[in-house]
Amino acid sequence: MLPGIVAPFMPSMHTHAAVIFFMFFFGSAATGPAGAYVQSISPEPMRAQFGAAYQLSLVLVGATLGPFMVGFMTDFLFADEQKIGLSMSLTSLLTNPLAAWFLWKAFRQTRERPSSVNS
């Protein structure tokens, strides 16, 4: 979460790129295990559909809601195109804790689930 908040305020493009590297590195680390988890909890005949729905929702949320929020806040909250960095930071500050909460909730439900997994 921290790299997404501070990256827009870096003084040079090189430091910005270094901070963004860590954001993408750690942010994408869960993508593979998450997809595998979706497959493991899906009924066997429906694994392809669940996997496709997971990937579609991942792309739709990441490619539409994030940029929309940045543009919306820049235009209507700050009303200044020069404050796009502030909008990016605020989007990260608002959405990352929400995503962490959903992840925590999913992990908690996983631990409460019986240990027998569909094979």
The domain spans of the chain are 2-112
Greater confidence, 52 or 61? 52
Taking CA atoms, 78 is separated from 3, 28, 46, 75, in Å, by 22, 30, 45, 6
Quick one: average pLDDT of 60-88?
93
Report whether pLDDT(22) > 70. Answer: yes
pTM for this model (two decimals): 0.75
DSSP state of 64: I
Q: Is 79 left (phi over 0), alpha (psi -120 to 50) or beta?
A: left
Asked if 64 and 56 touch (Cβ cutoff 8 Å), the reply is: no
Please tell me the least confidently modeled range out of 27-41, 51-65, 101-115: 101-115
Backbone angles phi, psi at 10, to 5 degrees: -70, 145
